[in-house]
A = this chain, B = another copy of it.
Amino acid sequence: MARTGRRPGESGSRGAILAAARESFAEQGYDGATIRRIAGMAGVDPALVHHYFGSKDGLFVAAMELPVDLGTVLPQLLDGGLDGVGERLLRFYLGALELPATRTPMLAVLRSAVRNERAAALLRGFVGREVIGRLAARIDRPEPALRATLVGSQLIGLALARYVIGIEPMASADTETIVRAVSPTLQRYLTGELPGDLLPG
């Protein structure tokens, strides 16, 4: 059968642009990536990238959004109540890092933020709004935003140590081992009594 030559629909082009952007940000970093090259990789006109995402900043923020919708997933993780929320959050996070389709964009964003201040500022805004904000709104404890960032610091460090730097024996430990060792940390950050009772700042 002859190929029809039909162009991919809007969602196909958008997805192809995002996939190319993630690959490009991961390889060239925020500075090195260009809309022209990303458009070329996705097989679309650069004007279409501008149409969908406005600018390189807009494209970078969109590339941070994982194939899962945090606006849906985070409430689901929290709906089970605060008991065991540390473990549920960690299992979801490690699950996403074990799958190449989600690991690649997650690590690409992290790498970009580490090497470029502009990308760090965009990640800061995104995490503050989409993750810390949503989490903090559901934590009925003093200092919810600081608690959420403490969780973030452990999760970022885990991704770096296990998947980027690859420090042994953590890199090849099985997921269940990591879950059992780290869940209590996240649970304590989210709902435990933090020492000193009232935290300043």
B164–A153 CB distance below 8 A: no
Within 8 A of B (CB), among A138-192: 145-146, 149-150, 152-158, 160-162, 164-170, 172-174, 176-177, 180-185, 188-189
B177–A149 CB distance below 8 A: no
Of A128, A146, A150, most B-chain CB atoms within 10 Å = A150
Interface residue? A80 (CB, 8 A): no
Interface residue? A105 (CB, 8 A): no
A195–B200 CB distance below 8 A: no
A149–B169 CB distance below 8 A: yes
Report the copy number of this chain in the oligomer: 2
A168–B149 CB distance below 8 A: yes
With a CB–CB cut-off of 8 A, which chain B residues contact A162? 153
Interface residue? A66 (CB, 8 A): no
Given A157-B153, A161-B149, A200-B177, the answer on whether A167 and B132 have CB atoms closer than 8 Å is: yes
Interface residue? A120 (CB, 8 A): yes
Q: Please classify the interface of chain A as helix (H, G, I), strand (E, B), loop, or mixed, using the class held by over half of its residues.
A: helix
Contact-residue size bin, chain A (C-beta under 8 Å from the other chain): 35 or more
A195–B181 CB distance below 8 A: yes
Within 8 A of B (CB), among A102-127: 110-111, 113-115, 120, 123-124, 127
B146–A152 CB distance below 8 A: no
Interface residue? A194 (CB, 8 A): yes
B201–A181 CB distance below 8 A: no
B153–A170 CB distance below 8 A: yes
Could you list 8 A-B pairs, sorted by A, with CB under 8 Å? Answer: A114-B114, A149-B167, A152-B157, A154-B185, A156-B161, A172-B201, A180-B194, A183-B195
Not counting A128-B167, A146-B181, A157-B157, a sample of 10 additional A-B residue pairs whose C-beta atoms are within 8 angstroms of each other reads A120-B165, A123-B165, A145-B169, A150-B170, A156-B165, A160-B160, A174-B201, A177-B199, A180-B195, A181-B189
List 3 A-B pairs, minimum CB-CB distance, nearest first.
Answer: A157-B157, A149-B170, A153-B161
